[in-house]
Amino acid sequence: MIESVSRRAFSSSSGTYNVRASELARERKLNIFNVTVVFLDDTEQSFQIEKKAKGSVLLEHVFQQLELVEKDYFGLQFTENGSIPNATNTEITRWLDGGKSVKKQVGASAQFWLAVRFYPPEPCRLAEEFTRYLLCLQLRKLLLDGRMSAPKNTALLLASFTVQAELGDYNTTEHSPNYLSELCLLPKQSAEDERRIRELHKLHKGQAPADAEANFLEHAKRLDCYGVESHPAKDYNGKDILIGVTSIGIVVFQNNIRVNTFSWSKIVKISFKKKQFFIQLKREPSESYDTVLIFNMRSGRAAKALWRCSVERHGFFRLRAPRRRPLLGALGALAGVTAPTVARTETQALEDARRSRSSNRSFVRRSSSRTRERSAGASPAQGAGAARGARVTAHREPAPRAAWGDAPPAAAPPDDDGGFLERALRVPLTYVDESESESAPERADEGGDGDGDGDGDGDGDGSGGEGGEGAVCVRLSAGADGRFGFNVRGGGGGAPVLVSRVAPRTRTYLQEGDQVISINGKDVDEMTHDQVVQMIRNTKGVLTLLVKPNAVYEPEESGPEEPAVCFVPLGSGQFEGDPLEQSMLLLGDGLASGAALKQYETLLRRISEESASVSKLPQNINKNRYRDIAPYDSTRVILKNGPNGDYINASYINMDIPNSDLVLTYIATQGPLPSTVSDFWQMVWESESSLVVMLTVLAERGRAKCHQYWPKVGSTPLKATNTLTVLTNSEQNHGHYIRRDMTLKSSCGASRSVCQLQYTSWPDHGVPDDAAAFVAFTTLCSQLRNRTHVIPTVVEEINGEEERVLDPPMIVHCSAGVGRTGALILAETALELLARRQPLYPLDLVRAMRTQRPMCIQNASQYKFVCESIQAAYSLGLSTADSASN
């Protein structure tokens, strides 16, 4: 009854109001949280999320906005005070945690910056061009604001790739002499820097933006600070250091020089407690104790941040799947702070990218380096609306020039403004084969022949042969030079044949890490690496490959690789222009690309034809500090009146200076043992040397490196032999080196002043912190070298040939007499060449040294340090100074 009345009452005129729905709408409006994200090209985008939304929601919105496929490498940064992340506020910069509320992490400030969180160790493995473009933008920002450093020549080379990617080929009609002044390429950019960048820019003719960026990344990945997230700390001695976390492990920097690396494979456990961070290393078979390294952080919060960073990078780069969190939160609380996890690992990300084989859709590049706004007539692509690097379906920019084609660009004007570097090089600057397929490769869905019938008959007419599950057939057309735009690794000894390097435009069809099963229908299982390479090179026309896509690429386990293209100098006298400047440009590029260190590693450590039999005689074995380091018989120092025979572990090294009569003479020797001190001073006397250079301390890490072979100041003279005594007159400490002036007297009444310089700033298992100090020390050694002959220089005829009597040698020693000793010899020879403006090729100098004493320059870090010291000396203008010997 009541219901019917109600219906009649409201039948003629009625209305409703949903109170709860209005309240919910009001609540939803109040719960909206507005955030702003700054992209890598400096454009901004606003997003609306719920206040209780987790960070993963915002991350997904950002990735969808950019249509970013390889999103696992990226993240969002914010600062505690809302300022822009830079080199000065790294301690208050945080990463957005996808598992926590956005509002709780950032508070009232809602400003985020897109950034690369995990730097791929091999950028060429990235499937998408857009991802590589964003990575380039990130690295340019880091180089400009000081969060990432690079040697000067490397920075110039990277800047030239940036110019090529943004402006295209160098054109004398379009580019004015000051065309680089509009670009901010270096932190402190000078006119001289712009001139050198321009010369390098000319070398990149024909490279499309994608190829220039690929070359940029190929050089940048070799920097010591690439992909390093640094945390300030102090070591056990209280020295300021930076602890960095990378894909390979944990690294330690001191004065911007990497002094230690702890790879993940050597680390057992990482932990923190209050302000201390601990690294426990794997116990070696010969050790009976655990090695635990302790670092002091600035605060407990800083120690926790370093620990979290280390755990996340280890999980991303080393694990195949993320670790699961404990089922009960209490379990994690009982053990301490619960270890963070990553959503996905790099292995999973690569597998998804390989499966998708996504086509690289076009997108608009924005010049991220402009120092001032363009005029009103700027092209629409440069405006704010089109600036962000999101993909678009079309744009007005002309199609990029192919960097891998065989023909030059159609409308490219002649290079009238130099080109001397191109004439000085035999190959252009690329990082893989120059050619690329003329036609797009065909790819079948499954194994079998290219027609897709899958019969797998392997008759050589384009069929791929039997490839098993997941195999695909790829057909590539050769370029004009017969190459196909990729390299291979492995083969022979059961090692699989893997694709190692691929031209950018071929990556849609071939990927780094793909396993080659057959070539032109022939199985490669029993082929050696050389046979595989030769078969590919001998193919005319179409190359048919049956490959198995592989997401995990481990090059260090796959055997030798076909060499990549690199700079090759033609030799002295072939250059046009300044030979010294061009040789330094080559050295800089070699260090930037890693080619210089690769070439160093290929040098023979000792000459097999040279015998060292005298060192192995029973009476001489105990005179060697290290059994595997001994002088060649042909260059060893022979004592005339040695108290213990004629043998001493020392070698003559003579370094000729081209186009002059100068020969730098050395005796490279080991640090004296207690039993060889008398032999050492007898050698000093007989060689008539007045300068001894010591490059080690007496003991390092509890191990004796050299016996103290001189007396202290004010003590009684040391009786070195029956006829020789040594007196130390004075000792002066100059910071990084000590100078001692001594007197060496003979019982016959003759005496000689001997100066000893002991360099004390070369750390154990490292290199000096200050290259400039090392150059200054080397210069001092050169100035103190005895250029006034004790034995007059005359020309004698022996067997009809003229023979010079050389200057007395500089005696140089460290512990073994090869590593640091070779470094000083290389440095002084290089400085002499710079002073005479002679072209300089350090690799040839090392090769010359090793023909006279084995193993000179013992490792790549020493070689790299000396080369960078040479570059520093050249940039300081030491090459313009007159040599003391001129």
- Which residue, chain included where needed, has tokens 């609380």? 333
CATH number, domain containing residue 219? 1.20.80.10
Which has the closest alpha carbon to 542: 484, 488, 476, 459?
476
Report helix, strand or coil for 717. Answer: coil
Pairing of strands 111-116, 229-234: unpaired
Residue 700 lies in a domain: yes
Residue 797 lies in a domain: no
CATH number, domain containing residue 109? 3.10.20.90
Do 99 and 157 belong together in one domain?
Answer: no
Do 697 and 818 belong together in one domain?
Answer: yes
Do 248 and 175 belong together in one domain?
Answer: no
Q: Residues 6 or more apart from 735 whose CB is under 8 A from it?
A: 761, 773
Residue 49 lies in a domain: yes
Do 480 and 448 belong together in one domain?
Answer: yes
More confident residue, 125 or 8: 125
What is the average pLDDT across 365-394? 38
More confident residue, 50 or 505: 50
List, in sequence order, every residue forming a beta bridge with 795; answer none if it has no partner: 804
Residue 813 lies in a domain: yes
Residue 471 lies in a domain: yes
Q: What is the pTM of this model?
A: 0.51
Do 540 and 619 belong together in one domain?
Answer: no
Residue 572 lies in a domain: no
Catalytic residue positions?
814
Residue 256 belongs to what domain range?
Answer: 229-325+337-353
Domain total for the chain?
5
Residue 456 lies in a domain: yes
Single residue among 97, 116, 135 that ends a domain in this structure: 116
Do 189 and 240 belong together in one domain?
Answer: no
CATH number, domain containing residue 262? 2.30.29.30
More confident residue, 492 or 42: 42
Model pLDDT, residue 229: 87
CATH number, domain containing residue 675? 3.90.190.10
Whether residue 407 has pLDDT greater than 80: no
φ, ψ at 234 (rounded to 5°): -130, 145
Whether residue 178 has pLDDT greater than 50: yes
> How sure is the predictor about 13, in pLDDT bands with cuts at 50, 70 and 90?
low
Do 219 and 237 belong together in one domain?
Answer: no
Contact 651, 822 (CB under 8 A): no
Do 220 and 233 belong together in one domain?
Answer: no
- Which residue, chain included where needed, has tokens 């004439």? 423
Do 209 and 240 belong together in one domain?
Answer: no
Do 718 and 633 belong together in one domain?
Answer: yes
Pairing of strands 515-519, 497-502: antiparallel
- Residue pLDDT, tens place only, 235-247: 877 888 889 999 8
What is the average pLDDT across 83-110? 82
- Which residue, chain included where needed, has tokens 């022939």? 522
Do 671 and 715 belong together in one domain?
Answer: yes
Residue 222 is classified by DSSP as T
Single residue among 424, 452, 480 that ends a domain in this structure: 424
Model pLDDT, residue 14: 67
Single residue among 380, 396, 424 that ends a domain in this structure: 424
Residue 543 lies in a domain: yes
- Residue pLDDT, tens place only, 198-255: 888 888 888 888 888 988 998 888 888 898 888 899 887 788 888 999 988 898 888 8
CATH number, domain containing residue 519? 2.30.42.10
Do 510 and 635 belong together in one domain?
Answer: no
- Residue pLDDT, tens place only, 112-136: 999 999 999 888 888 888 899 999 9
What is the average pLDDT across 639-646? 92
